[in-house]
Amino acid sequence: MMKHLKKSDAFPVEDGRIKSIWIGTGIVKLVFEAWNSRQFVLIFDGADCVKSSHAVDEDIGEYKVSVAGEGKKLHSFYSAWEYDTAILEIAAESVRIYQAVNGK
């Protein structure tokens, strides 16, 4: 059975983990897996700054969005075990969220 992507407005960040990060020119693609094995793909457009510290396969406890300046927002993912530690930060113009669903 193949997986297809369906547009989503949000993703359940609590008790999930980042499975992979792909960084391209001006774009970042992140695969996020929720506690119930549902997978989400987040695509950050207009990305120009990425800071990561052992983010892949780390449990995520919180996700925050703040103003980064110059029309960008800072997307911060925090460790479930060290609440004040951002393990991934992405400054981007926008983010698109998709859920991977089973299909034929």
In percent, how much of the chain has pLDDT > 90?
Answer: 67
Q: Let me know the angle formed at the C-alpha of 62 by 56 and 64, rounded to the nearest 5 degrees.
A: 105
pLDDT surpassing 90 at residue 15: no
The predicted model gives 10-24 an average pLDDT of 90
Q: How far apart are CA 16 and CA 104, in angstroms?
A: 26
Range of the domain at 42: 2-103
Please tell me the predicted confidence (pLDDT) of residue 103.
64
The predicted model gives 58-85 an average pLDDT of 91
Would you say the pTM of this structure is higher than 0.75?
yes
Report how many domains make up the chain: 1
Based on DSSP, count helices (H) and strands (E) in the chain, helices before strands.
0, 9
> Side-chain half-sphere of 74: how many Cα atoms within 13 Å?
14
Q: What average pLDDT does the chain have? A: 91
